Amino acid sequence: MITLLKRLLGSAAVLVVVLVLNFFLFRIMPGDPLTGIVDPRFSPEAKQQLAAQWGLDRPISEQFVVYIREMLSFRFGLSMMTGVPVWDELKNRVPNTVALLLPALVLSSALGLWLGVKAALRRGSIIERVVLLSGAISFSFPSFFVQLLLLMCFAYLWPIFPLRGTTSIPPPAGIAYLFDYIWHMALPVFSLVILGFGGFALYIRNMMVKAMGEDYVLMARARGLPYSRVVWNHAFRGILPPVLTILLLSLPGVVSGAVITETVFSLNGVGRFLLEATNSHDYPAAGAAFFLLALLTVACNLGADIMYVLVDPRVRRESSRG
Amino acid sequence: MVKKIFYYVRASILMVLMFLIPAHASAGVDGASFDIFSYRGPKMKDLYYVITRDMDAALLAMSTKKLDVLSDIYRPGDIERLAESDFAELSAASSFHGFFVTFNVRKFPWDQTVLRQAASQVVDASRRQWTRDLFSGYCEPLSSFLPHISPYYEPMTERLPPGAPSARRHLADAGWTWDRAGWLVAPDGRKVPPTRILCPPSSVAATSTEIAELVSEALRAIGVPIEAEPIDFQAMLARVDVHDFDACTNAWTMSRDPDVLYSFYHSSMDVEGGYNMSGIADPELDSVLHDLRYAPDEPSARALASRAQKILSELMPVIPVYSRYSVSAIRNDWDGVFTTDRSTSDNELTLISMTPKEGGERPIYWNISEEIRTLNPLVSSSAYDWTVLGTIYSSMLSVNPYTFEDLPWLAESWEVTPGERGSIFTFKLRPDLKWQDGRPLTVEDVAFTIEFIKDNNIPRFFDTVKDVESTETDERAGTVRITMANTSYWHLHNIGGMPVLPKHILRNVPDWRAWQPANRPHTALDGTKLTELIGTGPFTFRESRTGEYVRMTRNEHYMLSGIGEARAK
């Protein structure tokens, strides 16, 4: 309990640091949020009016207070790019990003896990070769190339999937809309699974190969336990903590890295919004997006810690002692 | 080598063909005989602005009839793919885009006019070749301060002879020498220090980096120790803002009016937030640019624009390099495509005239390559947003697509008279104009739009209305009289080109900054459910799905629709 409390306090401290850095880093960074809005037809007076409109003419301390108030109340203010509340912008995009990333992450990790374990158990088999090859492919080919190739094959030459977006134009009504949505998300999700499972399988395979050679696995086999129990209850359980850590900590990175998939398939997601907000120095939007990403990272970290305690009795014992 | 020549020849043929299309499409019509009111439409009922960010996906969509109109095509590979396709018709026109190398004339060595002139001489010799090598013929070399398409474009005929030998002679004549290593020494004995051309990195703008390198190489040939320095674009702008640079690359999209020269080259614009990046400050140029900004009429504006460009070609604070062609494509199963040599097919007249060749009714799918950021006309400055907003809102004047001259639009006539302090514009509105919700458009709407913008200091239109002293309306005569605080020929274009917004909507806007008219319901006179995005344009806004599409339907009250035709008769 005390350990958990310590972790919570540590996470809160991280969030405070992120909040402060978020404010100052964006303002120290070269560039001006008004650059993307004005053009040579704007006179310096008009630019001043614009700065006043966004409160950029106020003292930095005053801006900081407003910023902290907006962040802690989860209001986030208006996006300078769109004039729409940042919260509404995120609400529009988060479902698409979740619909893209969650199935992709679940499917690629499940497939990677299954193939990785199989490859470790059947050294030299065709499964191991598939794992090695898919791992190499996922590390060697840029994602946009693979995705464009898939788009070309399955949306153009053999048009079984749509070319763009999350919905048909015009969208169908009722339950058909749900199927239409799934149909639109299928190819982007499939592309992420293709790109993701290989690396994960390779990682699992390597760890499982090592685990299968450990003394405790040998002991379990010597005890005459069924093979599947040796594999899943002993060897796999041994590698579970680092696997969970990798999975959970990859989540924030995947969200921000979704930008390429969102661009190629013209999806309206958070990754693209984050990139545009950062590039155009949209302080409220970028601040909110980075704050939420930090929250996600901290939550995943906490989640990983809790999972560690749940799956590894050694950590549980240490925690209860400490 | 043979392959390269073949490539150029093919590219040149394609460009010639694209420029011939307008002549064919609008044969028999020219600027003088063009009558915008002879057009009727919109012919189609539904219009979808589809957001497809990836150009490859957009091209695939066009080939499978999922997209009808594609704008902003600039990659040579895409232009060739479309030109060779059997499903699309391309159109090209010169544009208002210009790419420049800007010198910081506030410090040595680029404060030396002779050196800048010599730099322009070496660029003059290579500009055509660079443009051809980098853009395969899909951009045109630019040697003037206004693009060729501008009605005020001044060909620079009195330039110094091009080439490095001539540049070296020009420098030598002015007392410049070279040290033993071959680097330049100014007449006062100062050695030219190593300098840099800031440019965006090649990952962001490959051609900008290449041009910076080519210009550096050309300048080194006359003894200027200069290198290209690719840096992050925002970092580059920040350094330019605080004058921490020697030279940089930049690109602008200008407009038909030459008063933009004031923003770029008048000394009063060399301030924080100003666009005089080079820092040029010349009393004669300042005087001419000031007079140009406040030119009383077209002939004096023309003479002053010409004079300003001539002075600039002597001072050379920037070196023009190239201008991009505007290229658009439209599926070839549509009739009614309108183009001119100055306007590509993605224009309002095409939009209202389009009909499927096979007949019948079909939605138009018009691509937008970036997400719509906001549909609030008071704050939006994005060209993508205005693609949609431009279909909804109209202004009092329009522009002749052949000559760029003013055309009557919501205003059937206008008059400019001198007042006590400034010009007075009297616009007479067309009778029986209606908003998309069926309510009548009156002179009160025009006056209220101007007053609302002025009272709220709305930055987007601040410069347009800041000199408006008063507005008076005469409902019975259908005229609005706008008195300006000073005289300027450009006031007519600024005021006449401003979108007119409905008073009955605008007066209820609680906070113009956060106003999202597309999300606020509004009921038309006939009971139809609309939103507050109400204008007089050819299509009425219906629905927007962020990042996906904007759906619009035909405005039956549009002044060029059949109803309008009946009224006109």
Instruction: Give chain A positions within 8 Å (CB) of B457.
Output: 49
| A170 with B66: Cβ contact below 8 A | no
pLDDT for position B15: 52
| A166 with B548: Cβ contact below 8 A | yes
Q: CA-to-CA distance for B27 and B340, rounded, in angstroms?
A: 9
End-to-end Cα distance, chain B: 63
| B516 with A83: Cβ contact below 8 A | yes
Percent of chain A exceeding pLDDT 70 equals 95
Q: CA-to-CA distance for B406 and B422, rounded, in angstroms?
A: 21
Q: What is the pLDDT along chain B (569 residues), one digit of tens a residue?
A: 444 554 555 555 555 545 544 434 454 567 778 888 999 989 999 999 999 888 888 998 999 889 999 998 988 889 988 989 999 999 999 999 999 999 999 999 999 999 999 999 999 999 999 999 888 888 999 999 999 999 999 887 677 899 999 999 999 999 999 999 999 999 999 999 999 999 999 877 888 999 999 999 999 999 999 999 999 887 888 888 889 999 999 998 898 999 899 999 999 999 877 889 999 999 999 999 999 999 999 999 999 999 999 999 999 999 999 999 999 999 999 999 999 988 999 999 999 999 999 999 999 999 998 888 889 999 888 889 999 999 999 999 999 999 999 999 999 999 999 988 899 999 999 998 999 999 999 999 999 999 999 999 888 898 899 999 999 999 999 999 999 999 999 999 999 999 999 999 999 998 898 899 999 999 999 899 999 999 999 999 999 988 889 999 999 999 998 644 444 44
Q: Categorise residue B174: left if φ over 0, alpha if ψ from -120 to 50, beta otherwise.
A: alpha
Instruction: Give chain B positions within 8 Å (CB) of A92.
Output: 546-547
Domains of chain A: 2-72 (no CATH), 91-321 (1.10.3720.10)
Question: DSSP string covering B34-85, please?
Answer: --GGG------SEEEEEE---HHHHHHHHHTTS-SEE-----HHHHHHHHH-
Contact B52, B66 (CB under 8 A): no
Interface membership of A12 toward B (CB under 8 Å):
no
Domain B389-568 has CATH 3.40.1160.10: no
pLDDT for position A228: 87
- Is the pLDDT assigned to residue A37 strictly greater than 80? no
Q: CA-to-CA distance for A187 and A151, rounded, in angstroms?
A: 8
Contact B330, B69 (CB under 8 A): yes
Is-cis flag, bond preceding A59, omega within 30?
A: no
Burial class of residue A62, CB neighbours in 10 A (0-12, 13-18, 19+)? exposed
pLDDT for position A85: 87
- Is the pLDDT assigned to residue A195 strictly greater than 50? yes
Backbone angles phi, psi at A219, to 5 degrees: -65, -45
Percent of chain A exceeding pLDDT 90 equals 10
Sorted by where each begins, the domain ranges of chain B are: 2-30+54-94+325-369, 97-324, 389-568
Neighbours of B284 (CB within 10 A): 12
For an interface test with A, give the residue of B460, B467, B542 to mutate (most A CBs within 10 A).
Answer: B460
Model's pTM, two decimal places? 0.83
Q: CA-to-CA distance for B468 and B445, rounded, in angstroms?
A: 16
Range from A274-278, A318-322, B15-19 that averages highest in pLDDT: A274-278
Considering only residues 507 to 526 of chain B, which have any Cβ-Cβ distance to chain A shorter than 8 Å? Answer: 513-516
Tell me if residue A87 falls in helix, strand or coil. Answer: helix
- The single-letter DSSP state of residue B373 is -
Q: CA-to-CA distance for B444 and B500, rounded, in angstroms?
A: 10
Residues 6+ apart with CB under 8 A from B548: A165, A166, A167, A169, A268, B50, B51
Contact A270, A86 (CB under 8 A): no
pLDDT for position B564: 42
Q: CA-to-CA distance for A133 and A201, rounded, in angstroms?
A: 11
For an interface test with B, give the residue of A164, A167, A261, A281 to mutate (most B CBs within 10 A).
Answer: A164
Instruction: Give chain B positions within 8 Å (CB) of A26.
Output: none
The ipTM, to two decimals, is: 0.73
Residues A116-132 pLDDT 10s: 888 888 888 888 888 88
CATH class of B97-324: alpha beta
Residue of A nearest to B255 (CA): A41
- Enumerate the β-bridge partners of residue B327: B92
Q: CA-to-CA distance for A128 and B503, rounded, in angstroms?
A: 71
Contact B399, B348 (CB under 8 A): no
- Is the pLDDT assigned to residue A321 strictly greater than 70? no
